[in-house]
Amino acid sequence: MTRYWLVRHGPTHAKAMIGWTDLPADLSDTVALARLTSHLPSEAPVVSSDLSRAIATADALGPRPRLAHDSALREIHFGRWEGRGFAEVEAETPSLIRAFWETPGDIRPPGGESWNDLTARTWGALDRLHSQGPDLIVVAHFGPILAALQRAGGLTAIQAFGHRIDNLSVTCLTLDPPKVHTVNHRP
């Protein structure tokens, strides 16, 4: 059994749909980072998405064993919606963007991923990583953290979407057996 300590990267301050766009994290809140670092298991290895905001956040957690960055832990790919605001996309394709958020599953943004694509990718990564120890710190994004929560909690996608996942928060869970320990904890 591996306990996953899922950490959402530091804020980007973007007011748009940012998935695979590689924006840096604002890690200036050193007090929050210190609390986060002390809350996490000190000997647990760290793996992060390969996007710079996750890598920099993982680096800020101090000297810990590191695993190779994993592109399967990236945020959902918004395709042609990347970098655009909800209102802008809704003005062009109102039914598509509403369906994407209100009935997550197989609906994809043009050139992007569906919720089911993201969950398959995330679940595959977590299954590959389960042998890394009793505890594993995963620095990732809103979507992959919700996908892990959906699986561990036996939730529907809509139920998972009802959870808030703040920047620099911790969601702790196991997949075997499936159990959610904490969601969106801000140490």
Query: Of these residues, 39, 43, 69, 75, which one is catalytic?
Result: 75
Q: How far apart are CA 184 and CA 6, in angstroms?
A: 9
71 φ, ψ to 5°? -65, -20
Catalytic-role residue among 9, 77, 113, 141: 9
Nearest in space to 75 (alpha carbons), one of 142, 147, 171, 7: 142
- Checking phi first, is residue 104 left (phi over 0); if not, alpha (psi -120 to 50) or beta? beta
One-letter amino acid for residue 41 of the chain: P
Active site residue 113: no
Sign of the torsion formed by the C-alpha atoms of 144, 148, 154 and 160 = negative
Please confirm, yes or no, whether 9 is among the known catalytic residues.
yes
54 phi and psi angles, rounded to 5 deg: -80, -40
The sheet with strand 178-185 has its strands ordered as: 46-48, 135-140, 3-8, 170-175, 178-185
Which residues neighbour 42 within 8 Å (Cβ) at sequence distance 6 or greater? 64
Residues acting as catalytic residues: 9, 75
